[in-house]
Chain A
Amino acid sequence: EAGVTQFPSHSVIEKGQTVTLRCDPISGHDNLYWYRRVMGKEIKFLLHFVKESKQDESGMPNNRFLAERTGGTYSTLKVQPAELEDSGVYFCASSLYRGSTDTQYFGPGTRLTVL
């Protein structure tokens, strides 16, 4: 069974540019999460999809971030325009059930550097 995949693995952009990150969850997983880790800090929650619906987007830092999950399969996270403080590693995770005991399985992350 394929795990969670993310693309690209690395992205280097200049301040003011746009970047789109993609996540493909484990097949059949309705729940998809985005998290971010700024260097040396904790991993912070961004948002949670159940199928194509946003269940919880309370962690999104501001309206420069837009997440979509059309069709309830893969998800994209767009940052427009990017700022220096957006640099970090963006992780995607998926889980089968919405229950609080369920395990989330993470992808390898996308390392975003904004210059």
Chain B
Amino acid sequence: AQSVAQPEDQVNVAEGNPLTVKCTYSVSGNPYLFWYVQYPNRGLQFLLKYITGDNLVKGSYGFEAEFNKSQTSFHLKKPSALVSDSALYFCAVRAAGSTLGRLYFGRGTQLTVWP
């Protein structure tokens, strides 16, 4: 069975400080991993994905994520948070080679960046 855990419902950080939003996963075989962000009253926006290759993936808006196979983690990071980064973040996984397209999501982490 495939699943994603986002252990923190809420993350609070001051503007200018680094931020980390945690994600761990469980999948049969190799994972394909995705991060999405939902701003208030908006849909899910794609941030970045890990398919293969370099464990550090760079995405939109200055975000990056590090794939760690031994820890089955895919934490989202940003060196310097902005107030405008405040949003709901979702991690998702799909098994590599799966013939099914469905994504498995975590519960989401609410990020609040205060001025």
Interface set of A (CB-CB < 8 Å, partner B): 3-4, 6, 31, 33, 35, 40-45, 48, 55-56, 59, 91, 93, 95, 98, 100-109
Contacts A42-B4, A48-B100, A103-B49; A91 near B107 (Cβ below 8 A): no
B-side interface residues, number (CB < 8 Å): 29
CA distance A104 to B43 in the complex (A): 12
Provide the residues of chain B in CB contact with A95, threshold 8 Å: 101
Say whether B36 contacts A106, CB under 8 Å: yes
Interface set of B (CB-CB < 8 Å, partner A): 4, 32, 34, 36, 41-46, 49, 51, 90, 92, 94-108
Say whether B43 contacts A91, CB under 8 Å: yes
Say whether B43 contacts A109, CB under 8 Å: yes
Going nearest first, the 9 A-B pairs with the smallest beta carbon separation are A106-B44, A108-B43, A43-B105, A45-B102, A42-B107, A106-B43, A42-B105, A101-B51, A100-B98
Say whether A56 contacts B102, CB under 8 Å: yes
CA distance A102 to B101 in the complex (A): 9
Say whether B43 contacts A98, CB under 8 Å: no
Say whether A108 contacts B42, CB under 8 Å: yes
Q: Which residue of A lies closest to B34 (CB)?
A: A103
Q: Which residue of B lies closest to A106 (CB)?
A: B44
Say whether A100 contacts B97, CB under 8 Å: yes
